[in-house]
A and B are shown apart, each in its own frame.
Chain A
Amino acid sequence: MSEFTGNEIIHQYLRHNKKFPHVLCPGCGHGIVLGSLIRSVHSLALAKDDVVLVAGIGCSGRLAVYVDFNTVHTTHGRALTFATGIKMANPKLKVICIMGDGDALSIGGNHLIHAARRNIGITALILNNNIYGMTGGQCSPTTPEGSWSMTSPFGQMEKSFDIVELGTAAGANFVARGTVFHIHNLDRMVSKAIERPGFNLVEIVSPCHTQFGRKNKYKSPVDMYRWIKKNATPLERYNELPEEQRAGRLPLGVFVERDAPGLEERYQALKEKLMEGAS
């Protein structure tokens, strides 16, 4: 499994002809996710040519441009549909989808549940920062009840989505939750999600201080990481906790691990059967 190995590896995977600096704010967790993704691809010894990174729209969507894979920056919420087309057209490719919470759960919610239902061989990373960052801090489907945002100035009235439960119910092969504070854990989860067959979903809690933290009484980005540190609970321990102590806790770990073959494998098997019948 991958270990934190410093910057040398990451530099091998960044695009040198891309004009840096990047678009992310100080304190943003998205860069840490990108680092984790690169380390995972490296530890699995995947060829850059075989990796297709498909991204949606938003801060997370901008990550694709920096890495030297085949990168496709798609439309808002629809990254999984492009990824589906790519995977079905060429099942040899490793298709990794990076989406934000608004991207994957709000405008793209339909595509997410159907990609999970099909169990198509895609790795879906949902970078959950509980807010629409790039558009200026409007509430998203994961903005916690009672939190403030530009479009919930009196506190969010709606309940938020639990990405893990959604993915599990929809039928994903692998469902996990990690955070950008627990990097070793995250590396292991992302590697696993890339390696395994079928639809593999990882929710990655990645704080946004600029748009979420400042409106919700986090004095600095560090405060947000402290919040994660304090509330994150390994799944095993979380399950042992009595009900009344679970509130506000963030269970981390692998929630689902199934081995069903991906849609593209099942489709290939059907093709072989049909072609045999024809000849």
Chain B
Amino acid sequence: MSANGKKKGRKALFAQGNEAVVEGALIAGCSFYAGYPITPSSEIMELMAQKLPARPEGVFIQMEDEIGGLGAVIGASLAGRKAMTATSGPGFSLMQEHIGYACMVEAPLVLVNVMRGGPSTGLPTSPAQGDVQQARWGTHGDHPIIVLSASDVQECLEMTVTAFNMAEKYRTPVILLLDEITAHTREKIFVPPAEEFEIVNRTTPTMPPEWYKPYEETVRGVPPMPPLGSGYRFHVTGLSHDSNGFPTSRPDEVVALMERMHRKIDQFLYQVQIVREFECADCEVCVVAYGSVARSAELAVTQARGQGLKAGLLKLGTLFPFPRRALEKILGHSRAVIVPEMNMGQISREVKRVNNGRALVRTVNRVDGQIITPDEILKAIKKV
């Protein structure tokens, strides 16, 4: 995004990440919010409470807990709405069962998790990135999931739109992981006019209802999805189901469901995996970072370059499915990889897995609720 605010139709805004998420959601067509307040994500809910009731189709409801919040969001999604909720660590833990349900019934939705220090109540007003592996594996059972992240306020807006688009396109829950710094930092952003964005809507069936099979195998692996009450009556269940949506325990039908569920995302990895490379073309030391840490990393890399060190930054927009190919390309010419994270090492596990012993992998970790500074990353770059 250029910093040229004079471009036609763009609205300049001084906003925090949570507000940008709401802007993005409304641009993407979100018309339903249900949730439960929790620091540091509450501003998303408060803003939705103000904006949605005043919009033609908008629905806002505060539920009794986070479990109910995500339940209502899934219900609204089945009824044809683009729906979202936002939460933070403890609420995210409560939502895990329903994330699995949404995967199983293939309900598109967006879940924003503003990460704070954990475990348990932890550090409610401090940043962390401790929910990364939980976002991938938190719900029980094998399941595909898309996890995105954003590192500044402008990205919060754009990533929210992307999250809705991916959710609708692949009929899947999409988790947007922010950290407290990104969510609460106020900076100037530009809101492009809505028509500049590509907005994806779910495919709805066009065949007569009696021909419709709700979980039919398709080329894309994504069956069309009618809203409840539109004449296509079918059964939705969290039980393993056949292509008609009815419960089954037949191994051939169960495996077909599981394989399609994974294939529908895996075969589009090139579209799902978003990364940004910064000085990566010839780097010898590559920093892999995401969220607010990526901003520190960018400055550290710039400073390292100024001192003649061949450093680069691979900024992850998509955390899962992990952008393996983008990293492998850089591993071809890097002797060391540095992974700074505000956790004990969660994405570094993925980096080490892809690296498979080729380059030296060093981590920079903080779990004290403090930001990782550019100096700390620069020191690590110099050390290798």
Where the two chains meet, the residues of A that have a C-beta atom closer than 8 Å to any C-beta of B are 15, 17-19, 48-50, 52, 54, 64-65, 68-75, 78, 80-86, 88-90, 92-93, 110-111, 114, 267, 270-271, 274-275, 278
Contacts and interface: CB of A to CB of B under 8 A. Distances in A.
Nearest to B70: A81
B76 A89 contact: yes
Interface stretch (B160-168, B191-199, B234-242, B322-330): B234-242
A61 to B, nearest CB: 9
B83 interface: yes
Contacts of B101: 74-75
A88 B229 contact: no
Interface string B91-108: 000000110010000000
A46 to B, nearest CB: 11
Q: Which 7 A-B pairs have the closest CB atoms?
A: A85-B75, A81-B71, A85-B72, A89-B79, A73-B237, A82-B75, A89-B76
B85 to A, nearest CB: 10
Given A68-B233, A75-B238, A82-B74, A52 B228 contact: yes
8 contacts: A49-B230, A70-B229, A78-B67, A78-B68, A82-B75, A270-B53, A275-B56, A278-B54
Contacts of B83: 85, 89
A111 B68 contact: yes
Nearest to B210: A17
A18 B54 contact: no
Contacts of B58: 271
Interface string B208-225: 000000000000000000
Interface residues of B, number: 45
Nearest to A120: B61
Interface string B62-87: 01110111111111111111010000
Contact of A275 (B54, B72, B98, B244): B54
Contacts of B227: 90
B246 interface: yes
Contacts of A267: 53, 59
Contacts of B320: none
A74 B71 contact: yes
Given A73-B237, A275-B56, A52 B229 contact: yes
B272 interface: no
